[in-house]
Amino acid sequence: MVGLRLLTGAAGIIGVTVLLFALIQYAPIDPVAAYLGAANEFADGPTRARIAERLGTQLPWWQHWLDWAGGALRGDWGWSATYRRPVAAVFADRAPWTVLLGAGGLLLAGLAGWAAALAAARRPGGVLDRLLNSLAAVVAGTPAFILALAAIAVFAVNLGWAPAGGLTEPGAALTPAEVLAHLGLPMLVVAVSAWPQITVHTRAALSDAWQSEAVTGARARGVGEATVLARHVVPLAAGPSAMVLAARIPELITGTVLVESVFGWPGLGQATVQSALGGDFALLAALTVASGAVVVSANLSGDVLGWVLDPRTRPTGRSGRIAPRPPASTYADAVVGDPVVGDPVIADPEVAR
Amino acid sequence: MQRRTFLLAGAALAVAAVAGVSGCSTNEAGTDNPVDRLTLAEGTEPASLSPLAAMYGLADKFYEGLYTIWGEGKLQWALADADAVANSDNTRWEVRLAGGRRFSSGAEVTPADVVATYRAIIDPAVGSPLAGHFTMLRSVTAHDWKIAFELSEPYAGFDTLLTVGIAPADLISQPVDSSPLVHTPVGSGPYQLADWRAGESLVLEPNPHYRQKLPIPHLIIAFVPDQNAVLQRAAAGSIQGAQVAPALAATFDRRGWEVWRNASADVRAVTFPRNHPGLKDPRVRRALNQAVNRDAILKGVQHGYGQVAYTPFTAAQGEVFDPDARFGYDTAGAQALLDEAGWPRGADGNRVNAQGQSLGFRLMYFADDIGRRDMAVAVAGDLAAIGVPVEVVAVPHAQVGARIPDDALLFAGGDMPYHPDQHISPLLDGRGATFDPADPYRNPSGYANPRIDELLQVGRVSSGEQRTQAYREIQQRYLDDPALLCLVAIDHVYLAAGLNQWLDVQHITEPHEHGAAWGPWRSIQSWLRK
């Protein structure tokens, strides 16, 4: 099952790179002009010809793709025209910053989302619930770059609480303190843009769990409210919530592209924009592969995490079960996943989902 | 109830956003930076710091050439310690190298390094973009501490080209794009590179082997593409200098800051598309030159920061520049000329010839350049008034080249302004009159004037008075048969803090290149504290 997913994912990524090379010839970009930059108005014929040959712009797109794919299989990811360095070096420099921003933002969004969802799900239909739902709708509808610009305008320019951009103050040493200070605002923006979906889905999962028969049964057995929350409600909601969290990662990729550009954060998102504008085939193809791999693995690990946390969602069928169902036990220590004796509704994974 | 809550929340967020965005910073200027460092903002991050990648760029902070440009385009000794000496027919030039100069690595600057640098420029394996400016260089040799340049044809003023930064022989001979010099400069200039944080900043520290002590040892060049962000940072005191657009310079008024202007040889001009039937006639081109109000463009678009230009020549070309070569602003005369040339006004006021072809054309500008857009619109307005309809279009850089034969372009010159032939030949030389798609910006108007071609050749090979006369006659003949519609030679405008503490901050006439490599900080290594 997992193997099939990985195989189809890899095929998809390869297909996207083919599409990239095929489509980029229609883009109104001249890689030679982008390479020359401001000197484009003054470069002469022989200079342009030499650069065109270097960048491979004269080749038909499928030959260009074959060259690139052959190199990639051998481990040579090519040379970035935008940064004048090997693609691998660009990745090594920039990937840590994007991972820091994305992971930090997702963590923050997850924590805030859970907190909001718990507060809202306690009293479904109450004031807090409706307020948070409305807020989530508004924030979900606001594009990430508007959030970023508003954050800079409010917190950096007006209040002066945070720097307006960059990794550090220009020329300052690269210390963890400097980086964390500059990370605050972009991470906040990334978290805010991922927060609404997490909140809404987690709140729905929590609300379902709270009203589910297993919880009603536990309450009926006299289990305390705190234990109900910790050992019954949260584990029930954890599965779907983990899937939602992992599904946010592909969105984060597009979100960080915009956020990094606005904040001048030197990560892979900024590199995506610059390589796209410059028609930098090698770097753009490598970024496509990387983001494709992230999407595939994020979705897959989200699903796997969901299966681990909530055995009811494990796929059955001809591909077989991943793990055997846990054995039934007595009422006294009923846990999630145990089919309650005599209750076929919960035991049926299709219905439980 | 739910809908009302949603609307309330949305309104609250919108109000907060609007209030935040429309508020202004109330910070005072922070000019009390430590005196040993200066932070400058630069709009575009350089792709390469190699001295062979570009002329007059940021590499000049790390490298020295044999000579350097000073004042209004004069040559000053840098690594050379005497003027260049030419033989009688300008085919052989000799330069004496000063001794005792060192690279930042500690190695001595020897004639072998100079020879290697100039050989690398013309070496196809290295692939330097500067090769096109040195096509006349046949060989470079050194004897003792004299470097000899052998040219394949006479070339007067060859020493003006000898400003290329000199790098160690072993490093300079590698291909220009993959050489270690791209990211790690090794030069004899005032600064060396401490750190290049990609996308962020360049941190410069003093070159320990430079021949004098630096008044400001540390320079930080921060990359800030957005001009509004530049003004914000300047207001907050986190930068002490930047190049800005003229319109923004007028709005920035803080204690400790001044507006610094450097004249430049960057002439903005409108090309005449060679495929247009009407624009081949010199009378038509003269008429268009007379119909444009250049003073209004200088005042309105450039806010006075610049000089009116009638021909592509500027003061940067030295004594060959003829300031009396001018067109008058005469709309009536222009209209009469157009009538005489066979382009009377039609029923709708636009001029058409006997075959029904319109005199109008499209005027392109680079889509990301607002200054050029404003100039294009001004020109279109002036020409519409005399019956020539001009449609202004924004075009991305990638598409401009192929359209040059059919549509006019708001063009900028001055990339190699200090040598008259390097500045003018690419625009006027008849050998470039046929369109070459691989070299679209050469002779963009498709101009060919046999007498001017003769004079260009005289200017190349002769020296002294004969040379000056040749270029002056070119300017006079240009007035009869203009190749372009020249508008203004713009000034580059900078905001600079703390300059009043220093003496000997030089005004230097700039090429097209601008930014942190130029401005008042071009001469930073020789400033004197008051």
3-state DSSP call for residue B85?
strand
CA B134, B135, B137, B138 dihedral sign is: positive
CB contact under 8 A, B21 and A28: no
In this prediction, residue B3 carries a pLDDT of 63
- Structure confidence by residue, pLDDT tens digits, B174-207: 999 889 999 999 999 999 999 998 878 899 999 9
Distance from CA of B129 to the nearest CA of A (A): 6
| DSSP structure class, residue B29 | P
B325-328 contacts at long range (C-beta below 8 A, 24 or more positions apart) = B325/B472, B325/B475, B325/B476, B325/B478, B325/B479, B326/B479, B327/B286, B327/B289, B327/B290, B327/B479, B327/B482, B328/B290
- Structure confidence by residue, pLDDT tens digits, B479-513: 999 999 999 999 999 999 999 899 989 999 999 99
Instruction: Place B459 in a pLDDT band, splitting at 50, 70 and 90.
Output: very high
Lowest average pLDDT, out of A161-175, B73-87, B135-149, goes to A161-175
Best B197, B492, B518 member to test A by mutation, with max A CBs in 10 Å, is: B197
Q: Which of A34, A45, A166 sits opposite B436 (nearest CB)?
A: A45
Task: Tell the burial category of B76 from Cβ atoms under 10 Å away from its Cβ (0-12, 13-18, 19+).
Answer: exposed
CB contact under 8 A, B16 and A50: no
Summarize the confidence of residues A55-76 as an average pLDDT. 91
- Structure confidence by residue, pLDDT tens digits, A252-270: 888 888 898 888 888 999 8
Summarize the confidence of residues A207-224 as an average pLDDT. 84
Give the C-alpha separation, B119 to B30, whole Å. 48
State phi, psi for B299 to the nearest 5 degrees: -75, -45
Q: How many CB atoms lie within 10 A of CB A345?
A: 11
* Structure tokens given for A75: 């481990």
In this prediction, residue A230 carries a pLDDT of 82
- Structure confidence by residue, pLDDT tens digits, B51-68: 999 999 999 999 999 999
C-alpha distances out from residue A264 to A270, A329, B417, Å:
7, 57, 35
Q: How many CB atoms lie within 10 A of CB B349?
A: 11
In this prediction, residue B313 carries a pLDDT of 95
The more confident residue out of A328 and A245 is: A245
Q: Which of B177, B223, B399 sits opposite A84 (nearest CB)?
A: B177
- Structure confidence by residue, pLDDT tens digits, A145-193: 889 888 888 888 788 888 877 788 776 778 899 899 999 999 999 999 9
State phi, psi for A334 to the nearest 5 degrees: -70, 130
Task: Tell the burial category of B481 from Cβ atoms under 10 Å away from its Cβ (0-12, 13-18, 19+).
Answer: middle
Give the C-alpha separation, A235 to A241, whole Å. 10
pTM for the model stands at 0.81
In this prediction, residue A352 carries a pLDDT of 44
Is residue B22 over pLDDT 50? no
Instruction: Place B4 in a pLDDT band, splitting at 50, 70 and 90.
Output: low
Distance from CA of A122 to the nearest CA of B (A): 18
As a whole-number percent, the residues of chain B with pLDDT over 90 amount to 76
Contact B527, B215 (CB under 8 A): yes
CA A160, A162, A165, A166 dihedral sign is: positive
Q: Please, what are the domains in chain B?
A: 1-56+189-262+493-530 (3.40.190.10), 63-181 (3.90.76.10), 267-490 (3.10.105.10)
CA A211, A213, A215, A216 dihedral sign is: positive
Q: Which residue has the tokens 């081949």?
A: B280
Contact A64, A56 (CB under 8 A): yes
List CB contacts (< 8 A) between B439 and chain A: 44-45, 48
List CB contacts (< 8 A) between B416 and chain A: 42
Give the C-alpha separation, B62 to B192, whole Å. 6
Instruction: Place B7 in a pLDDT band, splitting at 50, 70 and 90.
Output: low
Indicate the helix (H) or strand (E) that contains A345: helix A344-347
The rounded Cα A94 to chain-centroid distance in angstroms is 17
Highest average pLDDT, of A301-310, A344-353, B271-280, comes from: B271-280
Identify which of B264, B228, B257, B223 has the alpha carbon closest to the alpha carbon of residue B244: B228
Instruction: Place A102 in a pLDDT band, splitting at 50, 70 and 90.
Output: very high
In this prediction, residue A1 carries a pLDDT of 78
Residue of B nearest to A49 (CA): B438
Give the C-alpha separation, B178 to B199, whole Å. 19
List CB contacts (< 8 A) between A47 and chain B: 127, 129, 131-132
In this prediction, residue A311 carries a pLDDT of 78
Is residue A296 over pLDDT 80? yes
Average pLDDT, chain A: 84
List CB contacts (< 8 A) between B12 and chain A: none
As a whole-number percent, the residues of chain A with pLDDT over 90 amount to 37
* Structure tokens given for B2: 């739910």
Q: Would you list the DSSP string of B200-264?
A: TEEEEEE-TT-SS--SS-EEEEEE---HHHHHHHHHHTS-SEEEE-HHHHHH---TTEEEEEEEE
In this prediction, residue B430 carries a pLDDT of 93
In this prediction, residue B305 carries a pLDDT of 95
C-alpha distances out from residue B199 to A157, A286, B5, B28, Å:
21, 19, 43, 28
> Between the CA atoms of A315, A319, A324 and A326, what dihedral angle is there, to the nearest 10 degrees?
10
List CB contacts (< 8 A) between B436 and chain A: 45
Summarize the confidence of residues B469-483 as an average pLDDT. 96
Identify which of B20, B424, B416 has the alpha carbon closest to the alpha carbon of residue A150: B20
Contact B219, B40 (CB under 8 A): yes
- Structure confidence by residue, pLDDT tens digits, A22-57: 998 888 888 898 888 888 888 888 888 888 888 888
In this prediction, residue A84 carries a pLDDT of 87
In this prediction, residue B29 carries a pLDDT of 40
Contact B448, B430 (CB under 8 A): yes
List CB contacts (< 8 A) between A134 and chain B: 2, 5-6, 8-10
Residue A63 contacts by C-beta under 8 Å, 6 or more apart in sequence?
none
State phi, psi for A184 to the nearest 5 degrees: -50, -55
Q: Which of A30, A166, A170 sits opposite B398 (nearest CB)?
A: A30
Give the C-alpha separation, A38 to B402, whole Å. 17
State phi, psi for A174 to the nearest 5 degrees: -85, 75
Is residue B521 over pLDDT 80? yes
Indicate the helix (H) or strand (E) that contains B11: helix B2-22
Q: Would you list the DSSP string of A17-44?
A: HHHHHHHHTTSS--HHHHHHGGGGGT--
Average pLDDT, chain B: 90
C-alpha distances out from residue A134 to A128, A139, A201, A204, B354, Å:
10, 9, 14, 14, 69
Identify which of A23, A11, A95 has the alpha carbon closest to the alpha carbon of residue A64: A23
Instruction: Place B49 in a pLDDT band, splitting at 50, 70 and 90.
Output: very high
3-state DSSP call for residue B5?
helix
Is residue B112 over pLDDT 80? yes
- Residues of B (203-242) whose Cβ lies below 8 Å from A: 203, 218, 220-224, 229, 232-233, 238-239
Lowest average pLDDT, out of A69-83, A211-225, B385-399, goes to A211-225
Q: Would you list the DSSP string of A56-118?
A: TTTS-HHHHHHHHHHHHHTT---EETTTTEEHHHHHHHHHHHHHHHHHHHHHHHHHHHHHHHH
CA angle B76, B80, B84 (to 5 degrees): 75
Instruction: Place A226 in a pLDDT band, splitting at 50, 70 and 90.
Output: confident
As a whole-number percent, the residues of chain B with pLDDT over 70 amount to 94
CA angle A106, A111, A112 (to 5 degrees): 95
Instruction: Place A10 in a pLDDT band, splitting at 50, 70 and 90.
Output: very high
State phi, psi for A248 to the nearest 5 degrees: -75, -20
Is residue B130 over pLDDT 70? yes
In this prediction, residue B183 carries a pLDDT of 93
Q: How many CB atoms lie within 10 A of CB B342?
A: 16
Give the C-alpha separation, B484 to B411, whole Å. 9
Task: Tell the burial category of A222 from Cβ atoms under 10 Å away from its Cβ (0-12, 13-18, 19+).
Answer: exposed
Q: Which residue has the tokens 């268009």?
A: B288
Q: Would you list the DSSP string of B399-424?
A: HHHHHTTTSEEEEE--SSTTSHHHHH
- Residues of B (153-172) whose Cβ lies below 8 Å from A: none
Give the strand pairing for B408-412 and B361-366: parallel
CA angle B418, B424, B428 (to 5 degrees): 175
Give the C-alpha separation, A137 to A133, whole Å. 6
List CB contacts (< 8 A) between A97 and chain B: none
Instruction: Place B24 in a pLDDT band, splitting at 50, 70 and 90.
Output: very low
Tell me if chain A has a CB within 8 Å of the CB of B347. no
- Residues of B (108-137) whose Cβ lies below 8 Å from A: 124, 127, 129, 131-132
Residue B283 contacts by C-beta under 8 Å, 6 or more apart in sequence?
B337, B338, B340, B341
In this prediction, residue A340 carries a pLDDT of 47
3-state DSSP call for residue B119?
helix
Is residue B129 over pLDDT 50? yes
- Structure confidence by residue, pLDDT tens digits, B349-403: 999 999 989 999 999 999 988 899 999 999 999 999 999 999 999 998 888 999 9
